[in-house]
Amino acid sequence: MGRLQPTLALLRYCRTWALHSRSMATSATASQPISPATTRIGWIGTGVMGRSMCAHLIRAGFSLTVFNRTLSKAQLLLDLGAHLASSPSSLASQSDVVFSIVGFPSDVRSVLLDPSSGALSGLKPGGILVDMTTSKPSLAVEISAAATSKGCSSVDAPVSGGDKGAREGTLAIFAGGDPAIIRHLEPLFSLLGKVNHMGGPGKGQYAKMANQIAIASTMVGLVEGMICTHKAGLDVGMWLSAISTGSAGSKSLDLYGLRIMKRDFNPGIYVNHFVKDLGICLEECEKMGISLPGLALAQQLYLSLKAHGEGNLGFQALVLVLERLNNVSLENVFKA
């Protein structure tokens, strides 16, 4: 018993020190309010979504350093005054807050956690990682633990609202992590949309996962309704307008109904990325022991697009699958 007491005392000391260190990292980061004069921003991933989001930060006066594997996708931001980094690590060494929005979980792991070139390897203690990619909840938890071990913080903050929401600064942001850090980041989040704190690390990704499940079934219903309307000989545009103010109205209808009619399949969300999202959803649902047949059907329909070589179209191209199934086409239904 005499030996056990020092051991217990040591464990208590270690636990207290760990909590203290974590608290110190949080307070060091949040001690100075975020402002263009004091906060340097890094951004990894300047594609369809990231490019517009970065532009909001630059126009608000923030100093921004960007990294993107395809240089041409960053050119607009460089023209607006952003600086270019040669690697995520180099970017992070020049930043207080590092955002990332890339394609797949493997990309997230590479740009944030790679021991030699990842952002965390260059981030100074007190720095913050904010991953806005739709990714795996387990990876968000892993990133949080890795950041904490270095005296930094991380937030998983995937978004919904598509390219239109990114352009207009009206995205829904699902944030998982320390509530104090999320409050600290509010001046940045407010430039991009509305932040919703969903819980601890990984909970932002779970919220986005459920968001994608809801969108998937909504899109299937929207496209099936359009096919049915067309086959019945109705004016599809008039029908969309008629249902938009009723119970069948939705954000998906507002964002994608007209695009579908105009055959505008430019990506706000790539089919390839949406297939990835739905795959993550199915994997996590299996772990939770829940059956979501609507999700499974939607994933199969989107996989059909990918199989036809249409993975780089926007996810509203779902109409192509239903057209093939029913041997009809909405190609000429749009009336300017």
pLDDT at 30: 55
pLDDT at 324 over 80: yes
The confidence band for 28, taking pLDDT boundaries of 50, 70 and 90, is very low
pLDDT at 189: 98
The confidence band for 31, taking pLDDT boundaries of 50, 70 and 90, is low
The confidence band for 304, taking pLDDT boundaries of 50, 70 and 90, is very high
Mean confidence (pLDDT) of the chain: 91
Average pLDDT of the residues in 181-203? 98
pLDDT at 4 over 70: no
pLDDT at 71: 86
SS3 198: strand
Concerning whether 335 is annotated as a catalytic residue, the answer is no
Of the listed 136, 150, 203, 208, which one is catalytic? 208
The token duo for 24 is: 């110190």
pLDDT above 70: percentage of residues in the chain: 90
The confidence band for 16, taking pLDDT boundaries of 50, 70 and 90, is very low
Among 192, 177, 115, 123, residue whose Cα is nearest residue 151: 123
pLDDT at 198 over 80: yes
pLDDT at 24: 42
